[in-house]
Amino acid sequence: MNKISSICMVVLALLFSAGSALAGENGARILFDQGHNQRFLIEETGELQLSKFADIMRGQGTHVAAIKKPLNDAALKDAAALVISGPFESLTSEEVEAVARFIGRGGRLAAMLHVGPPLAGLLARLDLDHSNAVLHERNNVIDADTNFRVTALSGSPLFAGLTHFSVYGCWALDPGKAGTPLAQTSPDAWVDLDGNKKYSAGDASGVFPVVVSGTLGAGGFVVFGDDAIFQNRYLDKDNGRLAANLSAWLAGR
């Protein structure tokens, strides 16, 4: 390769690099809430962390950032979407209303439960609810009856290219009057209402939603009954495809 060709190749490489950086800067801005004692973070690479999920988003030209301060109008002003995954502390009532206003203005929210109570206030604001304990399955079990494949999927774009995805300790969701169930258990799932750690007459059984969507004003939300779906360890081919589809939805594609 002569000197002129080498210079041209360098210039092209610089232009490509600049263009890629610009695309990332101009892409939709997705915020990950990390201000409510979350243990699983986008900047960490351990098995239960969310770094691969964030990388999937970045690979689609999306700008991803963590937010560790209180959720309010100013903090959410420039975001296209907000992800609240696995909080161990509840949002304040002021934060709940700020998130509701964010959605109402056209923002998109994805929320994932690790334990139910920290998200109870936000779910109630969206007219949703969760079970008092995680689900047990008697079909499509992976290695324990709280870890199972979800095969009853709607035609939502979230499940494009999928026949199932896997959950690992999933809460049942109540879609309320306005929510739409997108994915559900088999009819043989159950919730241990009496706490005796086995299926008995006092337990609830049947089909339970595990992913629910809805709208609020100009925006929308999707809630997953499990946060492990998108953790590094569990981000297999199918959960990875779900992560990519969710990322596209959050970015407005």
Q: Which two tokens stand for residue 1?
A: 């390769």
Model pLDDT, residue 25: 44
Is there a contact between 137 and 186 (Cβ–Cβ < 8 Å)? yes
Predicted confidence (pLDDT) per residue in 18-28, tens digit: 333 333 445 79
Model pLDDT, residue 166: 98
Mean pLDDT to the nearest integer, 92-109 = 98
Q: Name the least confident of 5-9, 93-97, 184-188.
A: 5-9
**250 pLDDT higher than 50:** yes
Predicted confidence (pLDDT) per residue in 123-167, tens digit: 999 999 999 999 999 999 999 999 999 999 999 999 999 999 999
Mean pLDDT to the nearest integer, 7-14 = 36
Model pLDDT, residue 19: 37
* Fold topology of 28-250: Rossmann fold (3.40.50)
Predicted confidence (pLDDT) per residue in 47-93, tens digit: 999 999 999 999 999 999 999 999 999 999 999 999 999 999 999 99
Mean pLDDT to the nearest integer, 108-135 = 97
Q: Which residues contact 129 (CB under 8 A, 6 or more apart)?
A: 120, 123, 173, 174, 176
Tokens 């809460």 belong to 171
Model pLDDT, residue 53: 98
pTM confidence score: 0.89
**Rounded-to-integer distance, Cα 166 and Cα 189, Å:** 14
Mean pLDDT to the nearest integer, 90-106 = 98
Model pLDDT, residue 26: 52
**11 pLDDT higher than 90:** no
Q: At what angle do helices 237-250 and 51-59 cross, to 10 degrees?
A: 60
Predicted confidence (pLDDT) per residue in 168-208, tens digit: 999 999 999 989 999 999 999 999 998 888 999 889 999 99
Q: Which residues contact 59 (CB under 8 A, 6 or more apart)?
A: none
**Rounded-to-integer distance, Cα 100 and Cα 179, Å:** 15
Model pLDDT, residue 208: 98
Model pLDDT, residue 5: 42
Model pLDDT, residue 197: 86
Mean pLDDT to the nearest integer, 114-128 = 97
Model pLDDT, residue 27: 78
**7 pLDDT higher than 70:** no
**15 pLDDT higher than 50:** no
